[in-house]
C-alpha cells in the first residue's frame, strides 16, 4: 500500500491520545514501537504495554498496515492481546501504565519495589 506518511502520523496521534504522550513512554517501548519486524520478546513487551494502557487491537492493526509492520508481527501481537483479555492466564508480565506512571501486571496490580 503506497503511503505518504499522513496516515501513519494520524494513527500515531490517535495512539498517543489513547495511551499518552510518547515522551512519557519507557525508552525500550519507544524504541521497539517504530520497528517493522520484532523478535518474540519484543512482541510480548509491546503487547503487554498496549494491554495495560488499553489500546484497542483494531487501532494497532491499522497502525501495522499503515506503517508496513511485518504481518506475522501484527498477527502475533493481536493474538497476545486476545489471550491477555480472554484466557485469564496468570502471566507474570508487567507493563508501564503511562497515565498512572507506574508498572502494573496484566491484572492491574501495582509493582512494588520493596
Residues of the chain with pLDDT under 70: 1-4, 88, 113-114
Q: Cβ–Cβ contacts within 10 Å for residue 65, how many?
A: 16
Domain boundaries, the chain: 6-105
pLDDT of residue 4: 65
Q: For 30-53, how does the pLDDT look when each residue is reduced to its tens digit (9 = 90+)?
A: 999 999 999 999 999 999 999 999
CB crowding 86-106: b at 16 or more within 10 Å, else e? eeeeebebbbbbbeeeebbbb
Single out the residue of 74, 96, 108, 112 nearest to residue 27, CA to CA: 96
pLDDT of residue 114: 60
Amino acid at each position: 500500500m503506497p503511503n505518504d506518511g499522513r496516515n501513519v502520523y494520524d494513527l500515531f496521534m490517535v495512539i498517543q491520545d489513547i495511551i499518552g504522550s510518547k515522551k512519557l513512554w519507557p525508552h525500550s517501548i519507544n524504541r521497539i514501537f517504530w520497528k517493522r519486524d520484532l523478535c518474540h520478546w519484543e512482541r510480548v513487551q509491546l503487547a503487554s504495554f498496549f494491554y495495560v494502557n488499553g489500546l484497542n487491537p483494531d487501532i494497532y492493526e491499522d497502525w501495522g498496515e499503515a506503517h508496513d509492520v511485518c504481518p506475522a508481527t501484527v498477527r502475533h501481537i493481536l493474538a497476545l492481546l486476545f489471550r491477555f483479555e480472554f484466557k485469564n492466564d496468570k502471566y507474570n508480565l508487567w507493563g508501564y501504565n503511562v497515565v498512572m506512571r507506574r508498572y502494573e501486571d496484566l491484572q492491574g496490580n501495582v509493582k512494588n519495589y520493596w
